[in-house]
């Protein structure tokens, strides 16, 4: 250890590793919630009498709220203090989890999911920011590697834990424990965090771009809402008008950010990034890449449980190979560092497209029963591809960002990732539920109806990831890596 490193270690907070444990617990809780809900969707649908569109909103409401909250709450953490905002976020997430578990109707559950997404958006940007400030440079790599490990473990634990909690029927409850389990964990994290996480002062002189928040949020919601609701309402004229209005708001948002940049005022999304064509091209690829998976697991869970009568635990175990693949990928990509990024992205996208394409033919060929073992290899291949692709893609995009914008660039990419997830749920849900309704109206049995609809919906993933594969070869990603960009990429590696 050099003299400067020894000095940094001596000045570092002695509680930093205990504080890291709290950050990891909160991060784990948030990430598990994303996957744990998938296996509970059929139970929620039956228990609450939810419509097709409403069950889509259980997923999309969380993802959308999380996406829209990441940038403004990240900035708010800079203003009021990151530790304070983190604890507020954990408290909000825990309270929202209680409201989800106690929700007596699907409408209240969707509303609580919005609050839960906002709570997740409050704490997530602070987690990595606190870790960056708390640890001296020579310890950051080890600390960030633990975030990647926790993300991989969360993806593995989510489906199985969800199935176990639902099958256990604790206290006569059905799907509710998947949310209620967050309450004791969240309370423990708040208490421990209050005493162990260093107090990081805010910067009251900073300002948030509230008009930009409104324009961006309204624009995204105006695009996603009619895609989810339009099919059930037979696509009224207002649905197309709303989408057009949403796109218009996003254009206005662009010019608003440009105006604030020229006036030297803070922007929600740094205008230098919006004007960076390579970065925006990369952000588009991130959006497409991220759009495939949330909708895919919504479809798979409904196929297995509602179509073929699997229990939530059986469904979770069937989905498990995908999560194991993501975990395997987290160990593989660490060995490559920043090398062969475009090739890795192309191979990863090809693996996901191939794996889900294989599964398409498995599902399309099913009769009145389905063999869960036939899901193992294609899901494992797709999971390894997804885990490999995200790491490569984030590094590749951030290579086109100047060091001074690296932090804002990585945060914005996470927002684009979540927006892509919400759009994917809307689009995949539209394909699946439209085909399912037609099949059932034609008198098909549930197995045939669900199987045909799921197989059709999987073409979205096959095509979208094939598109990413093609775009990887025209992506500009050859700039020299700087230390600041390397740190920023490390900070989002677990995404």
**Rounded distance between C-alpha atoms, residue 468 and residue 345, angstroms:** 8
pLDDT at 484 over 80: no
Q: Is residue 6 part of a domain?
A: no
Where does a domain end: 162, 183, 203? 203
Verify that 428 and 456 share a domain, yes or no.
yes
Q: Is residue 141 part of a domain?
A: yes
Where does a domain end: 174, 203, 232? 203
If you average pLDDT over residues 391-399, what whole number do you get?
A: 81
Q: Is residue 120 part of a domain?
A: yes
Verify that 451 and 435 share a domain, yes or no.
yes
Verify that 253 and 302 share a domain, yes or no.
no
- Strand ranges in 108-237 using DSSP code E only, listed in sequence order: none
Structure tokens at 232: 């059930």
The number of distinct structural domains making up the chain is 3
Verify that 283 and 396 share a domain, yes or no.
yes
Verify that 243 and 319 share a domain, yes or no.
no
* CATH at residue 301: 1.20.1250.20
Q: Is residue 9 part of a domain?
A: no
How remote is the C-alpha of 181 from its chain's centroid? 20
Q: Is residue 174 part of a domain?
A: yes
Verify that 22 and 138 share a domain, yes or no.
yes
Where does a domain end: 161, 182, 203? 203
pLDDT for position 410:
74
DSSP code per residue over 418-450 = HHHHHHHHHHHHHHHHHHHHHHHHTT--HHHHH
pLDDT for position 134:
82
The pLDDT tens digits of the residues spanning 316-329 come to: 999 999 989 988 88
The reported pTM is 0.86
- Band of pLDDT at residue 487, cut at 50, 70 and 90: very low
pLDDT for position 20:
87
Verify that 252 and 357 share a domain, yes or no.
no
Verify that 108 and 230 share a domain, yes or no.
no
The pLDDT tens digits of the residues spanning 116-161 come to: 999 999 998 888 778 877 888 777 767 776 776 777 778 778 888 8
Verify that 55 and 184 share a domain, yes or no.
yes
Cα distances (Å, whole numbers) of residue 72 to 78, 238, 266, 287, 453: 10, 29, 11, 19, 38
- Band of pLDDT at residue 476, cut at 50, 70 and 90: low
- Band of pLDDT at residue 379, cut at 50, 70 and 90: very high
Average pLDDT of every residue of the chain: 85
Structure tokens at 349: 């996208």
pLDDT for position 77:
85
Residue 443 has a CB neighbour count (10 Å cut-off) of: 8
pLDDT at 446 over 80: yes
Verify that 250 and 314 share a domain, yes or no.
no
CB 29 within 8 A of CB 152: no
Q: Any idea what DSSP says for residue 353?
A: H
- Band of pLDDT at residue 406, cut at 50, 70 and 90: low
Percent of the chain clearing pLDDT 70 (strictly above): 91
Interacting residues of 331 by C-beta distance below 8 A, sequence separation 6+: none
What is the C-alpha end-to-end distance of the chain, expressed in Å? 30
From the list 241, 265, 268, the residue with the least C-alpha distance to 254 is: 268
The pLDDT tens digits of the residues spanning 291-309 come to: 988 889 989 999 999 999 9
7 or 435: which leads in pLDDT: 435
Q: Is residue 335 part of a domain?
A: yes
If you average pLDDT over residues 18-28, what whole number do you get?
A: 87
Verify that 285 and 232 share a domain, yes or no.
no
Residue 377 has a CB neighbour count (10 Å cut-off) of: 14
Cα distances (Å, whole numbers) of residue 31 to 94, 149, 156, 238, 494: 14, 12, 10, 36, 10
Structural domain range at position 489: 278-495
From the list 149, 175, 221, 230, the residue with the least C-alpha distance to 38 is: 175
Residue 336 has a CB neighbour count (10 Å cut-off) of: 15
Q: Is residue 78 part of a domain?
A: yes
pLDDT for position 1:
44
If you average pLDDT over residues 212-225, what whole number do you get?
A: 91
**Rounded distance between C-alpha atoms, residue 417 and residue 495, angstroms:** 9
Q: Is residue 3 part of a domain?
A: no
Interacting residues of 174 by C-beta distance below 8 A, sequence separation 6+: 43, 47, 166
Question: In whole angstroms, how large is the CA radius of gyration of the chain?
Answer: 22
pLDDT at 471 over 50: yes
How remote is the C-alpha of 24 from its chain's centroid? 17
Verify that 471 and 414 share a domain, yes or no.
yes
């Amino acid at each position: 250890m050099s003299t400067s490193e020894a000095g940094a270690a001596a000045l570092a907070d002695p509680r930093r590793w205990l504080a890291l444990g709290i950050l990891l617990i909160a991060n784990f809780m948030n990430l598990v919630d994303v996957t744990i809900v998938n296996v509970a969707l059929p139970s929620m649908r039956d228990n609450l009498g939810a419509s097709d569109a409403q069950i889509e909103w259980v997923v999309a409401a969380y993802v959308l709220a999380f996406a829209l909250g990441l940038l403004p709450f990240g900035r708010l953490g800079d203003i009021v203090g990151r530790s304070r905002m983190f604890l507020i976020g954990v408290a909000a997430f825990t309270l929202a989890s209680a409201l989800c578990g106690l929700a007596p109707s699907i409408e209240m559950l969707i509303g609580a999911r919005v609050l839960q997404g906002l709570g997740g958006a409050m704490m997530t940007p602070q987690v990595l920011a606190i870790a960056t400030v708390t640890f001296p440079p020579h310890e950051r790599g080890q600390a960030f590697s633990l975030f990647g490990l926790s993300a991989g473990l969360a993806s593995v634990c989510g489906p199985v834990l969800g199935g176990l909690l639902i099958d256990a029927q604790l206290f006569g409850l059905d799907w509710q424990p998947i949310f209620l389990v967050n309450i004791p964990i969240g309370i423990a994290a708040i208490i421990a965090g209050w005493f162990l996480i260093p107090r990081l002062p805010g910067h009251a002189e900073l300002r948030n771009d509230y008009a930009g928040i409104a324009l961006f949020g309204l624009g995204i919601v105006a695009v996603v809402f009619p895609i989810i609701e339009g099919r059930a309402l037979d696509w009224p004229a207002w649905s197309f008008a709303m989408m057009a209005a949403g796109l218009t708001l996003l254009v206005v948002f662009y010019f608003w950010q440009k105006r604030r940049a020229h006036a030297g005022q803070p922007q929600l999304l740094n205008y230098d990034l919006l004007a960076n064509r390579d970065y925006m091209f990369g952000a588009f690829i991130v959006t497409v890449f991220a759009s495939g998976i949330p909708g895919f697991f919504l479809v798979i869970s409904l196929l297995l449980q509602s179509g073929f009568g699997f229990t939530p635990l059986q469904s979770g175990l069937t989905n498990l190979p995908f999560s194991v693949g993501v975990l395997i990928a987290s160990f593989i990509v660490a060995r490559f560092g920043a090398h062969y990024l475009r090739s890795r992205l192309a191979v990863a996208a090809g693996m996901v497209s191939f794996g889900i394409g294989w599964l398409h033919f498995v599902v399309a060929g099913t009769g009145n029963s389905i063999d869960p073992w036939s899901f193992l290899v294609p899901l494992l291949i797709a999971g390894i591809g997804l885990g490999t692709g995200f790491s490569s893609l984030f590094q590749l995009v951030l290579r086109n960002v100047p060091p001074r914008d690296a932090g804002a660039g990585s945060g914005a990419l996470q927002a684009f990732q979540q927006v892509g997830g919400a759009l994917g749920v809307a689009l995949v849900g539209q394909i699946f539920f439209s085909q399912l309704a037609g099949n059932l109206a034609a008198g098909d049995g549930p197995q045939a109806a669900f199987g045909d609809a799921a197989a059709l919906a999987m073409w979205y993933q096959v095509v979208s990831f094939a598109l990413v594969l093609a775009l990887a070869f025209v992506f500009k990603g050859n700039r020299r890596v700087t230390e600041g960009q390397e740190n920023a990429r490390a900070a989002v590696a677990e995404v």
